[in-house]
Amino acid sequence: MPEQPDKAFYVTTPIYYVTAPPSIGNAYTTVAADVLARWHRQRGEDVVFLTGTDEHGQKVLEAAEQNGVSPMEWADKLVETEWEPVLAVIDASNDDFIRTTEPRHTERVREFWQAVYDRGDVYEGTYEGPYCIACEEFKLPAELIDGDGGDKLCPIHERGVETLSEANYFFALSRYADRLLELYESQPAFVQPESARNEVISFVRQGLQDLSISRSTFDWGVPVPWDDKHVFYVWIDALLNYTTAAGFGTDPESFARIWPADVQLVGKDILRFHAVIWPAMLMAAGVDVPRRVFAHGWLQVGGQKMSKSKVTAIHPSEVVDTFGSDAYRYYFMKTIAFGSDGSFSWEHMSAVYTSELANGLGNLTSRVTAMVGKYFDGRLPTGKSSGEAERQLADALSTAAKRAEEAVDRVAIHEAVTAVAEFVSRVNGYVTEQQPWKVATDESPEGRARLGAILYAAAESLRAVAVLHCAVMPKTAAALWEALGAQSLGALSDQRLQDVGRWGQLPPGVALTKGPALFPRLVDDHS
Q: Which residues are near ligand ME8 by CB under 6 A?
A: 14-17, 23, 25-26, 28-29, 54, 238-239, 241, 266-267, 269-270, 298-299, 311
Is 311 or 472 the residue whose CB approaches ligand ME8 more closely?
311
- H, E, C per residue of 250-287: CCHHHHHHHCCCCEEEEEHHHHHHHHHHHHHHHHHHCC
| In the complex, minimum distance from the CB of residue 439 to ligand ME8, in angstroms, rounded to a whole number | 49
| In the complex, minimum distance from the CB of residue 109 to ligand ME8, in angstroms, rounded to a whole number | 12
| In the complex, minimum distance from the CB of residue 51 to ligand ME8, in angstroms, rounded to a whole number | 10
Is 180 or 400 the residue whose CB approaches ligand ME8 more closely?
180
| In the complex, minimum distance from the CB of residue 116 to ligand ME8, in angstroms, rounded to a whole number | 17
Q: SS3 for 497?
A: helix
- H, E, C per residue of 143-155: HCEECCCCCEECC
* ∠ Cα 95 100 102 (to 5°): 80
Is 308 or 450 the residue whose CB approaches ligand ME8 more closely?
308
Is 20 or 389 the residue whose CB approaches ligand ME8 more closely?
20
Is 309 or 355 the residue whose CB approaches ligand ME8 more closely?
309
| In the complex, minimum distance from the CB of residue 100 to ligand ME8, in angstroms, rounded to a whole number | 9
| In the complex, minimum distance from the CB of residue 392 to ligand ME8, in angstroms, rounded to a whole number | 39
- Single-letter amino acid code for the residue at 6: D
Is 69 or 306 the residue whose CB approaches ligand ME8 more closely?
306
* Phi, psi (deg, nearest 5) at residue 495: -80, 130
| In the complex, minimum distance from the CB of residue 238 to ligand ME8, in angstroms, rounded to a whole number | 4
Contacts of 398 (CB under 8 A, 6+ apart): 501, 503
Crossing angle (nearest 10°) for helices 278-285 and 103-118? 70
| In the complex, minimum distance from the CB of residue 191 to ligand ME8, in angstroms, rounded to a whole number | 14
Which residues in 261-415 belong to E strands, given as ranges? Answer: 263-267, 293-296, 299-301, 342-344
Of all residues in the shown chain, the one whose CB is closest to ligand ME8 is 25
- Max distance between CA atoms of the chain, in angstroms, equals 91
| In the complex, minimum distance from the CB of residue 467 to ligand ME8, in angstroms, rounded to a whole number | 28
Distance (Å, whole) CA 194 – CA 191: 7
Is 267 or 381 the residue whose CB approaches ligand ME8 more closely?
267
CA within 13 Å, CB half, 145: 8
Calculate the CA 266 to chain-centre distance.
9
Q: What is the 8-class DSSP label of residue 67?
A: T
* Helices and strands of the chain, counted as H and E runs: 22, 17
| In the complex, minimum distance from the CB of residue 166 to ligand ME8, in angstroms, rounded to a whole number | 22
Is 304 or 498 the residue whose CB approaches ligand ME8 more closely?
304
Is 269 or 525 the residue whose CB approaches ligand ME8 more closely?
269
Calculate the CA 106 to chain-centre distance.
26
Crossing angle (nearest 10°) for helices 413-434 and 363-376? 40
Distance (Å, whole) CA 336 – CA 342: 5
Is 153 or 393 the residue whose CB approaches ligand ME8 more closely?
153
